[in-house]
Structure 1
């Protein structure tokens, strides 16, 4: 998994010239990203009228109640099916970034939760093992995961807005919702597959480095954080 190739070594002045050329590309990309974010915000909305119910630490809740008094809700579709003993390593990698983000998202009228199909009780031991504090609710018994594109099935199976022929029953995704003053809930955005890269701060760090992500396949090196060599687990946290 070593994709590193030593580049040409040059003088400081030559490096600055090359860096300034890259800087122009970076500026253009930043502006394009701003335009893309604006287009994302400008998407039309769909009102959610299905009475979805979720199992939570405080009992059964509706989708509207997951907002916890705020107007914006991020729902990460975490791959943990009925009967599993561990969550998907890739989803767990993403989830390792949630608690830090949540400290700040709450100041911007945002709630971030994870949702899985397994019954609520089945993943509590895993959540404690990982040391996570974010809300993680269960959609067990509802069509929520299928309706929002992460449980493909049937003759016309689809994932990430195109036909899907795989045999997975669980796939990752992110769905975004808005709740207005009247209590009406709207679906505003969903993203899947590589569209979830934006959630992974670790990848942003790696993309700055000479070796980059240094992986043969997406997240092929990722493990549950307590399974990396040399990691010591204390009270649910890794050191």
Structure 2
């Protein structure tokens, strides 16, 4: 970390106000973007997707739980894996505590993965997650919504992920998809995001972006190399006393 300029409190407040003006510009731009996102056209879902849940078969419509909106977290967990992707789990940790708040705004949430439901349940329990999690292993949902790729697709080397803008770097990739269900029971796909588009849903990253060190992922084999399942981080040595009795 490069040494920072040390200034008086008054000078710091002046600099902070300059930054605040830029932050307000970003806030306004973000609000305009959200309006554009809501104005996107929709695609009617014509396939009858049936998933495996902990209590049996469920349809895509069932996942709405009577609400008009559904947010799907595509969690990377292939059938032959013994655990879910640690990075997807990083996002899922945050999603779990949002479920009641989203439900209060007419929005259901669910995680969907290819792995068999027994594996999902075995992984979910020790993580303490309470959100709904179903298996798409018996249907084309993952492939249709751009998060699962065949060996043949990967072999082409062509960008197919993130609406054909990003090269496939594995058979399972992360994403979020949003659906709307009208009073007639018709379902529409309204939005999906992938890759860096997922950043805004990770509160931990947003907190790190407030700090002097930021995400400090420079020099790692890949940006999220540091991420672990939340119970697998090594205890950090105390660097100086933070409080006194």
- Return the offset for 1:230: 2.9
Matches within 5 A, 1:223-234: 223-230=228-235
Gaps of 5+ in 2: 237-245
Specify the alignment match of 2:68 in structure 1: 71
Matched residues, number: 228
Question: d(CA) in 2 for partners of 1:173 and 1:55?
Answer: 20
SS state at 1:219 partner: coil
SS state at 1:61 partner: strand
Specify the alignment match of 1:199 in structure 2: 201
Structure 1 runs of 4+ with >3 Å offset: 163-167
Q: Deviations over 1:41-69 (max 9, x none)?
A: 00000000001111112211111111010
Question: d(CA) in 2 for partners of 1:160 and 1:59?
Answer: 32
Which has the bigger relative contact order, CA under 8 A and spacing at least 6? Answer: 1
SS state at 2:83 partner: coil
Question: d(CA) in 1 for partners of 2:159 and 2:50?
Answer: 24
Specify the alignment match of 2:239 in structure 1: none
Q: Deviations over 1:98-126 (max 9, x none)?
A: 12111211100011110001111122211
The correspondence for 1:143, drawn from 140, 144, 152, is 140
The correspondence for 2:226, drawn from 205, 211, 221, is 221
For the aligned residues, what is the CA RMSD?
1.5
Q: For the structure 1 residues 175 and 147, does the alpha-carbon distance in structure 2 shift closer, same or farther, using more than 3 Å as the test? A: same
State which drifts further: 156-165 or 175-184. Answer: 156-165
Specify the alignment match of 1:212 in structure 2: 214
- Return the offset for 1:147: 0.4
TM-score by length of 1: 0.91
The correspondence for 1:184, drawn from 183, 186, 192, is 186
TM-score by length of 2: 0.89
SS state at 2:231 partner: coil
State which drifts further: 160-169 or 207-216. Answer: 160-169
Q: Deviations over 1:130-166 (max 9, x none)?
A: 1111111000121100100111343566101225543
Specify the alignment match of 1:132 in structure 2: 129
Specify the alignment match of 2:164 in structure 1: 162
Specify the alignment match of 2:243 in structure 1: none
Gaps of 5+ in 1: 232-239
